Chains A and B, each alone.
Chain A
Amino acid sequence: MKMHLDEKIWLVLSFGMIMGMMLFTGYQTFVLGMGPPSHMETIDPQQVDETAPFDEPGVFEIGENEYEVVMTLELFSFNPGDIEIPAGSTVHFTMTSKDVTHGFQVTGTNLNAMVMPGHIQKISQTFHEPGEYLVLCNEYCGIGHQHMATTITVK
């Protein structure tokens, strides 16, 4: 198999770029702890209201400037909705779905996770900037999908 020098250089660069993307992704995931939301716990999707912690959805202060939001998603709402937290706080979201697959996306942040029935999903974010953040479902879930939204107000 004959290959020109410039082709070899191109292919080495191509391979290097792919490996570079790999290394950065690995470094961010395993060293900086920036891995994508991948929580492994499961739950009976038909018993969500009876299963802790989802029997009591809400916003809980768990430390200084640290909150846990226990949230259920269902057609077509987030519970709790209209969340308020002080600026600078870190929020840990613990979520599951009571029916179909939903998406949890907060615009202006990197919060973006699939929330599926039978699975508990976790994702965290520190809100530095005050403002009203739009929370929306980004996985098609039915005829009212475009109304499935709420807000997080950071004061």
Chain B
Amino acid sequence: MESAARNISFKEKANKALGIVPEDAIISKSYLFVSFIALLVGGVLGLLQGLNRAGLLELPLWFNYYQVLTAHGILLILVFTAFFTIGYFYAVLSHTLDGLLPKVRKMAWIGFGLKIFGFVLAVIPIIMNEASVMFTFYPPLAAHPVFYIGLVFIVVGVWMCAFGSFIQVANWRKRNKGEHVPILSYFATGVFVLLFFGSVPVAIEVFMIIPWALGWVETINVMLSRTLFWAFGHTLVNIWYLTAISAWYVVVPKVIGGRRFSDTLTRLVIIMLVVLNIPGGFHHQIVDPGITESVKFLHVFMSLAIGFPSLMTAYAMFSVFEKTAKKKGGKGVFAWFKKLPWGDVRFLAPMIAMIAFIPGGAGGIAQSTNQLNQVAHNTMWVVGHFHLTLGTTAVLTFFGISYWLVPFISKRVLTPAINKLGVIQTIFWTVGMIFMAGAMHWVGLLGSPRRTSYTTYSDHATALGWDPYLFFLAIGGTLLMIGIIIQVYAVIHLMFFAPKGETEFPIAEVEENATKTPYWTERWGVIIVIMLLVIAMGYVIPLVEMIVNAPPGSPPYSPW
């Protein structure tokens, strides 16, 4: 313990004196810059859709709704989140593991180049209207082969970064035998393990698709590709979540002047999310044919199990708020509420993100159960759900992180003016999402389908009844667009124009009387084996069924 304490204070001093290594800073800066530009463009596309959906805007033939929607999904779900996550966690690895190794730095750059190249390849056919397949690209919809080749480059780029992080962590552990990997780097390890293992199934899928899209093989197994996609798609969800809660557990307590929650339980939550996550993908296929009811029931459990670590997190957060408020002299049950720094965007944004996860998580649990899923499946409800969970819980936390991370890597400071702007941004985002995600949930329950451009279905009374809700959706979307403009302005300002100075990387300490974390939490080999066993439990039976009893395959279709 003593040596650990010495270590920390030495590192703190070193970091204070030197800040982030410039070579590492430029990596994170580049990743975050791409991330927020993707947010800006993706946001504009989102607004176009919202206005179309409300019947206020007709999109031109050369840039139709489904092109816009495909680009919106790829930009925000892949580019924005992946570049943010990698930029953030590479800053974490650099800061908490004594600077990136030269080899790892190189890998981060190669990964950056591969991803950008892959992204450009994927976008060209979308713009040319030869890849309106959505970010889910379910066969037998077939995009131009270049689209899939682009995806391969993106995946390989992500793997580069994942392996870079593993090398960095392994090297640190060799130099610090018997010690626990610092908590934020532990989160990073979990995220990159999921990124790697989660993208394996989609890589297999894409390698099935490419020869088929090129016409070398005639048909494809539709069910198998869809299932492999969701093994990845759902993992991505938990990568966002794990990234967000890393800030909740470690950064938020420091920002509010407290200490963080039990180190053991924090690590346990990470382990549970890694182990339980990948089979959760099946809850996207609850009303599919070709999967038996008993397999679907098994997967209700596999999906809901992820709810447990989230409920543990809910407890942990409120416990930290309450303890911190008590230390500051707050009395009574709701003292924590008054003692929190609501005017500090570094707290306010992630706090609202957490609050949004209460309805977001509850909606998720509802959707995972078979019969309720049948009501909501593929309706606007689902779109509302992930704009609440991804669009608010994850994204607002990312925004909150940006207000200290960007000045930290840019050796600048967060000025009171930009902090105030951040608070205003958070309010725009919150109100915008209440309108938009709220309207989406409601109109979804009334039957309005997702991924459908404006239509009244020949003036059917039911469809006409959706219009007022869709109008609210457009209002929300407009507020969110204003929010995005403010946010991107703030990031650019903090990156290039804010006053020079030192910004702290806020990492909370554990409680003084905290018990020692058991060392088994460091055994990633065992954790990964357990994860693979759980994946096998979830996937072996249905995948064998889908391959052995497969119907004749499907030829490609490009109906656009």
Contact = CB atoms under 8 A, between A and B. Distances in A.
Interface centre among A46, A105, A140 (most CB of B within 10 A): A140
Interface string B501-519: 0000000000000010010
A1 B264 contact: yes
A25 B300 contact: yes
Interface string A5-45: 00100110011001001101110111000111111101111
Contacts of A145: 66, 451-453
A149 interface: yes
A1 B463 contact: no
Interface centre among A15, A18, A30, A99 (most CB of B within 10 A): A18
Contacts of B451: 139-140, 145
Interface in B468-521: 515, 518
Given A118-B551, A142-B141, A132 B66 contact: no
Interface in A66-81: 75
Interface in B274-331: 285-293, 296-297, 300-301, 304-305, 307-308, 311-312, 315, 319
A29 B452 contact: no
A151 interface: yes
Given A22-B300, A112-B375, A43 B551 contact: yes
A47 B552 CA distance: 10
Interface residues of A, number: 66
B289 A116 contact: yes
Given A38-B296, A107-B446, A112 B315 contact: no
Contact of A1 (B265, B307, B370): B265
Nearest to A104: B287
Contact of B371 (A28, A39, A40): A28
Contacts of A75: 557, 559
Contacts of B288: 38, 114, 116
Contacts of A113: 287, 289, 374
Given A1-B265, A110-B374, A149-B460, A119 B134 contact: no
B9 interface: no
A3 B132 CA distance: 51
Contacts, number: 220
B371 A146 contact: no
A63 interface: no
B290 A40 contact: yes
A75 B262 CA distance: 55
A87 B187 CA distance: 57
A141 interface: yes
A147 interface: yes
Nearest to B559: A142
A35 B374 CA distance: 10
A37 to B, nearest CB: 5
B289 A120 contact: yes
A143 B300 contact: no
Interface in B360-418: 365, 368-371, 373-375, 377-379
Q: Which 10 pairs of residues, A with B, have the shortest CB-CB distance? A: A142-B559, A107-B447, A118-B551, A42-B551, A14-B311, A146-B455, A138-B449, A119-B289, A138-B378, A140-B451
Given A21-B365, A103-B378, A105-B379, 12 more contacts: A7-B319, A14-B311, A18-B307, A34-B370, A36-B287, A37-B287, A113-B287, A116-B226, A118-B551, A136-B452, A141-B559, A144-B559
8 contacts: A18-B307, A22-B301, A22-B304, A35-B296, A100-B554, A136-B449, A140-B66, A149-B460
